[in-house]
Amino acid sequence: MKLTYYGHSCIGVNTAGHDLLFDPFISGNPLAKGIDVDRIPATEILVTHGHGDHVADAESIAKRTNATLVSNYEIANWFAAKGVKSTVGMNIGGGAALGPFRVKYVTAVHSSQLPDGAYGGNPGAFVVTGPEGAFHHAGDTALTMDMQLLKPLNLRFACLPIGDHFTMGVEDAIKAAALMGVTKVVGLHYNTFPPIAIDTEAAQRAFSEAGLELLLPAIGASITL
């Protein structure tokens, strides 16, 4: 699997011939000025919750690429009303077949209002299982014991928020990785805004002392996992 980091919580995962794009927030991200939002590939767009820093560019990318937008029921309907043609709306604990993948919407402890004030349903995280294995994108969440339910899935990696303030910070993300049984973590939701600025070297040191690897690809960079 090839993972490309587009800043904040936005990643693209190229696997099994698909480009899965999570939580697109590029045009409003001061750190992602080097990314051309009109060139990001997507066959599916997965939106964890309704906050602007996770949905901002989803509509334009969905319309340009004809990607299927996958989220909770309320958010999927919100995008359908804006003219996004292909949507899949789930709810917590449910999954759906999506091409060669099974995508499951699982617990996140957070909130989920949409940018226009509309109700954004309950926030969630995604587990994607496909021909090259399973991985997790946590969206925005606190540490929660529900994460231990993911351990038997043998996740190849997890993408976890580490910026603190609005989500888990480093200390809790390390505990989350242990609950989920993953050793490779891609860090999300840090440094974009002053309240979530972190010391990335200290974060990587803390993960490494816990026997884990914290991957922090530069914005625009790709890594193979």
Contact residues toward Ni ion (CB under 5 A) are 51, 140
Q: How many residues does the chain have?
A: 225
Interface with Mn ion in residues 17-46 (CB under 5 A): none
Binding partner of residue 57 among Mn ion, Ni ion, none, CB cut-off 5 to 8 Å per kind? none
Phi, psi values for residue 65, rounded to 5°: -100, -15
53 near Mn ion, judged by CB under 5 A: yes
Nearest CB to Ni ion, comparing residues 51 and 104: 51
Number of residues that bind Mn ion (CB under 5 A): 3
Amino acid present at 172? D
Nearest CB to Mn ion, comparing residues 110 and 184: 110
The angle at the Cα of 58, spanning 53 to 185, to the nearest 5 degrees, equals: 60
Shortest distance in whole angstroms from residue 25 CB to Mn ion: 8
What's the CA gap between 158 and 29, in Å, rounded? 22
Shortest distance in whole angstroms from residue 140 CB to Ni ion: 4
Nearest CB to Ni ion, comparing residues 73 and 166: 166
Q: Count the Cβ atoms, other than its own, within 10 Å of residue 121.
A: 24
Q: Could you tell me the sign of the dihedral formed by the alpha carbons of 137, 87, 44, 51, in that order?
A: negative
Binding positions for Mn ion, rule: CB under 5 A:
51, 53, 140
